[in-house]
């Protein structure tokens, strides 16, 4: 290759990719005999690959990201205009879009107050962990430093975030991990029979009380933070049981523990409210968000805190160490907040929260119809346009279907031009949940096509 590229020469693009690009989450042996997939274009709910094949994207860019859909010229224009005016300055200074977006965001988050910009979900979560640690040092002589995380939750890819990771296959082979992170039990009611002592009635409060049990075992004076997904995503689309979140808030208040809610997936509309936690009427101390903040039009993540948390970092200005001594180079890129402003305006202008609730209910009904048809669908879980179907070999034992069969359903749908997802290499023996998260613009007709494809795939794979 001579380095002169014509982007329309797709075979050359594929060869360069095969030769040099290391794909995420991919075993590359397959590309010695088959071509890597290149996604070339997107519009609305649809993407086209290198062969010009059209797909309906039922997972918003693969990982719950492109919430307002592809090809949004108004976002591209906002980013372009901002880049020409000022592309970057370090986050120790403010920027016009950073300032505007912070006010728009806080307006959607009653009780919250401060926005810290960075550029990935993992990074935002790391900032949250650092705040807990610094507060422990400032107020409790370093003792109240432990951070609790939950079985089956994921908070990111760095060693710090994997130390707070409840998905053992994500963490496998990357240890040793950072000390001071402690696992608490999951709250998946469908699998409560695997948890010793779980009641049939009142599971939500019981599941929250399991966290209190860990706090007491560790010593409440050693626990500074609790980090949870509002609805667990890659761990199997786990919607929280009734009473769970309310009890979690009580426990955090009782033991003076900061509640850090990881909204990296639910953030900005996915569940039909701006944030997942807003379904449960609770007040977080810290909220992290990334993917849906700008729908992937620019990299942006935010850690949002209460004024109370913020004040802990400015109460002693005479102490040169008494502020949040953290930086994120690309947290100063202005493209992120410029895209986020327009992304939020689109959600409002087009009534996408309402559409999410409406279409989420429709798609849930359609999945329940499939459950009536296929015994292998053991459980359907959903919140807005965040949906999962857990596959089991029989409904009595709830034994998980083998991951390769789950992947066969995903592969069959892909053949049909429908991109769906599944839990993968996350939970040993339990990567058995199909995942759906279409863009918030989805219409009934798109959902019908997605469900038809899954129906066909299930029929073939489980014939
Ligand atoms: C709940 C949750 N938190 C954090 C992350 C990490 O985000 P990022 O990949 O932007 O670092 C993810 C990514 O999938 C996630 O699902």
Report whether pLDDT(7) > 90. no
Nearest CA to 124 among 147, 150, 157? 157
Q: Are residues 177 and 291 in the same domain?
A: yes
What's the 290 CA to ligand 1 centre distance in angstroms? 8
What's the 51 CA to ligand 1 centre distance in angstroms? 30
Of the residues 303, 331, 349, the one at which a domain ends: 349
DSSP per-residue letters across 191-226:
GGGGSTT--SSSHHHHHHHHHHHHHHHH-GGGEEEE
Q: Are residues 129 and 249 in the same domain?
A: yes
What's the 224 CA to ligand 1 centre distance in angstroms? 22
Residue 294 CA: distances (Å) to CA of 13, 59, 79, 88, 353: 28, 16, 11, 17, 15
Report whether pLDDT(1) > 70. no
Q: What is the layout of strands, in order, in the sheet containing 39-43?
A: 39-43, 46-49, 54-57, 418-419
Pull the structure tokens for residue 182: 């402690």
What's the 122 CA to ligand 1 centre distance in angstroms? 6
What's the 7 CA to ligand 1 centre distance in angstroms? 31
What's the 319 CA to ligand 1 centre distance in angstroms? 34
d(CA 386, CA 263): 13
Q: Are residues 371 and 447 in the same domain?
A: yes
Q: Report which ligand 1 atom has the smallest distance to the Cα of 290.
A: 10
Q: Report the pLDDT value the prediction gives residue 90, as an integer from 0 to 100.
A: 97
pLDDT band at 2 (very low <50, low <70, confident <90, very high): low
Q: What is the mean pLDDT of residues 402-413?
A: 98
460 φ/ψ angles, rounded to the nearest 5 degrees: -75, -45
d(CA 291, CA 9): 31
Q: Report the pLDDT value the prediction gives residue 8, as an integer from 0 to 100.
A: 81
- Mutate-to-test residue for ligand 1 from 24, 120, 121, highest number of ligand atoms within 8 A of CB: 121
d(CA 433, CA 235): 9
Q: Is residue 136 part of a domain?
A: yes
Q: Are residues 358 and 437 in the same domain?
A: yes
Q: Are residues 340 and 434 in the same domain?
A: no
What's the 154 CA to ligand 1 centre distance in angstroms? 7
d(CA 62, CA 435): 10
Q: What is the mean pLDDT of residues 132-156?
A: 97
Q: Report the pLDDT value the prediction gives residue 98, as an integer from 0 to 100.
A: 98
Q: Report the pLDDT value the prediction gives residue 316, as an integer from 0 to 100.
A: 86
* 3-state SS, residue 454: helix
Query: What is the domain-level CATH number for residue 166?
Result: 3.40.640.10
Nearest CA to 425 among 191, 203, 147, 154? 154
Q: Are residues 378 and 415 in the same domain?
A: yes
Q: Report the pLDDT value the prediction gives residue 295, as an integer from 0 to 100.
A: 98
Query: What is the domain-level CATH number for residue 374?
Result: 3.90.1150.10
d(CA 50, CA 39): 6
What's the 123 CA to ligand 1 centre distance in angstroms? 9
Q: Are residues 360 and 285 in the same domain?
A: no
Nearest CA to 187 among 247, 145, 132, 147? 247
Report whether pLDDT(108) > 60. yes
* Contact indicator for 215, 225 with CB cutoff of 8 Å: no
- Domain with 410, as residue range(s), is 37-68+351-461
What's the 215 CA to ligand 1 centre distance in angstroms? 25
Q: Report which ligand 1 atom has the smallest distance to the Cα of 232.
A: 1
Nearest CA to ligand 1 atom 7: 121
- Mutate-to-test residue for ligand 1 from 290, 383, 425, 427, highest number of ligand atoms within 8 A of CB: 290
Q: Is residue 6 part of a domain?
A: no
Nearest CA to ligand 1 atom 13: 156
Q: Which residues pair with 149 in a beta bridge?
A: 183
Of the residues 320, 349, 378, the one at which a domain ends: 349
Q: Report which ligand 1 atom has the smallest distance to the Cα of 63.
A: 14
CA of residue 448 relative to chain centroid, distance: 25
pLDDT band at 6 (very low <50, low <70, confident <90, very high): confident
* 3-state SS, residue 392: strand
Q: Report which ligand 1 atom has the smallest distance to the Cα of 301.
A: 10
Total structural domains in the chain?
2
pLDDT digits (tens, 9 = 90+) for 279-332: 999 999 999 999 999 999 999 999 999 999 999 999 888 999 999 999 999 999
Residue with tokens 């000390």: 179
pLDDT digits (tens, 9 = 90+) for 247-259: 999 999 999 999 9
Residue with tokens 């509309």: 269
Q: What is the layout of strands, in order, in the sheet containing 114-118?
A: 114-118, 301-305, 286-289, 258-262, 223-228, 146-150, 181-184
DSSP per-residue letters across 13-37:
HHHHHHHH---TT--GGGGGTSPPP
CA of residue 295 relative to chain centroid, distance: 12
Q: Mean pLDDT score of the chain, rounded to an integer?
A: 97
Question: Beta-strand (E) ranges in 121-280?
Answer: 146-150, 181-184, 223-228, 258-262
Of the residues 293, 328, 349, the one at which a domain ends: 349
What's the 201 CA to ligand 1 centre distance in angstroms? 33
pLDDT digits (tens, 9 = 90+) for 325-366: 999 999 999 999 999 999 999 999 999 999 999 999 999 999
Q: Are residues 139 and 168 in the same domain?
A: yes
pLDDT digits (tens, 9 = 90+) for 157-190: 999 999 999 999 999 999 999 999 999 999 999 9
pLDDT band at 3 (very low <50, low <70, confident <90, very high): low
* 3-state SS, residue 272: coil
Q: Is residue 30 part of a domain?
A: no
Q: Are residues 167 and 264 in the same domain?
A: yes
Ligand 1 pocket, Cβ-based, cut-off 6 angstroms: 63, 120-122, 125, 154-157, 229, 233-234, 262, 264-265, 290
- Mutate-to-test residue for ligand 1 from 62, 63, 154, 236, highest number of ligand atoms within 8 A of CB: 154
Pairing type for strands 421-422 and 386-391 reads: unpaired
């Amino acid at each position: 290759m001579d380095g002169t590229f014509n982007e329309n020469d797709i075979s050359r693009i594929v060869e360069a990719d095969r030769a040099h690009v290391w794909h995420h989450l991919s075993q590359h042996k397959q590309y010695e005999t088959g071509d890597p997939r290149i996604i070339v274009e997107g519009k609305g709910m649809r993407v086209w690959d290198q062969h010009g094949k059209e797909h309906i994207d039922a997972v918003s860019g693969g990982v719950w990201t492109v919430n307002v859909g592809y090809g949004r010229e108004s976002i591209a224009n906002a980013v372009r205009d901002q880049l020409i005016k000022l592309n970057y300055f370090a986050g120790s200074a403010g920027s016009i879009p950073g300032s505007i977006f912070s006010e728009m965001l806080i307006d959607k988050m009653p009780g919250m107050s401060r926005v810290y910009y960075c550029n990935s979900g993992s990074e935002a979560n790391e900032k949250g962990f650092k705040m807990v640690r610094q507060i422990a040092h400032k107020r409790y002589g370093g003792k109240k430093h432990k951070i609790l995380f939950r079985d089956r939750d994921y908070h990111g890819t760095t060693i710090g975030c994997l130390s707070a990771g409840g998905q053992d296959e994500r963490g496998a082979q990357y240890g040793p991990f950072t000390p001071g992170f402690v696992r608490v039990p999951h709250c998946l009611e469908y699998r409560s029979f695997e948890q010793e002592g779980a009641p049939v009635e009142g599971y939500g409060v019981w599941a929250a009380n399991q966290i209190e049990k860990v706090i007491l075992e560790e010593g409440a004076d050693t626990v500074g933070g609790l980090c949870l997904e509002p609805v667990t995503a890659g761990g199997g689309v786990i919607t929280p049981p009734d009473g769970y979140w309310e009890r979690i808030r009580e426990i955090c208040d009782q033991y003076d523990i900061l509640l850090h809610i990881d909204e990296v997936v639910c953030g900005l509309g996915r569940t039909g409210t701006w944030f997942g936690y807003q379904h449960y009427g609770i007040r977080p101390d810290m909220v992290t968000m990334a993917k849906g903040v700008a729908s992937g039009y620019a990299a942006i993540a935010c850690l949002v805190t209460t004024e109370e948390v913020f004040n802990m970092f400015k109460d002693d200005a005479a102490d040169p160490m008494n502020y949040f001594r953290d930086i994120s180079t690309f947290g100063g890129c202005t493209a992120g907040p410029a895209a986020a402003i327009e992304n939020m305006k689109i959600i409002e202008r087009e009534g996408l929260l309402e559409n999410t609730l409406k279409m989420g209910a429709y798609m849930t009904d359609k999945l329940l119809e499939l459950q009536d048809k296929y015994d292998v669908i053991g459980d359907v879980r959903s919140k807005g346009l965040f949906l999962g179907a857990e596959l089991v070999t029989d409904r009595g034992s709830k034994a998980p279907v083998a991951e390769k069969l789950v992947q066969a359903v995903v592969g069959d749908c892909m053949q049909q031009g429908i991109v769906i997802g599944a839990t993968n290499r996350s939970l040993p023996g339990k990567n058995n949940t199909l995942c759906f998260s279409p863009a918030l613009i989805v219409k009934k007709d798109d959902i019908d096509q997605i469900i038809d494809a899954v129906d066909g795939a299930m029929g073939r794979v489980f014939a």
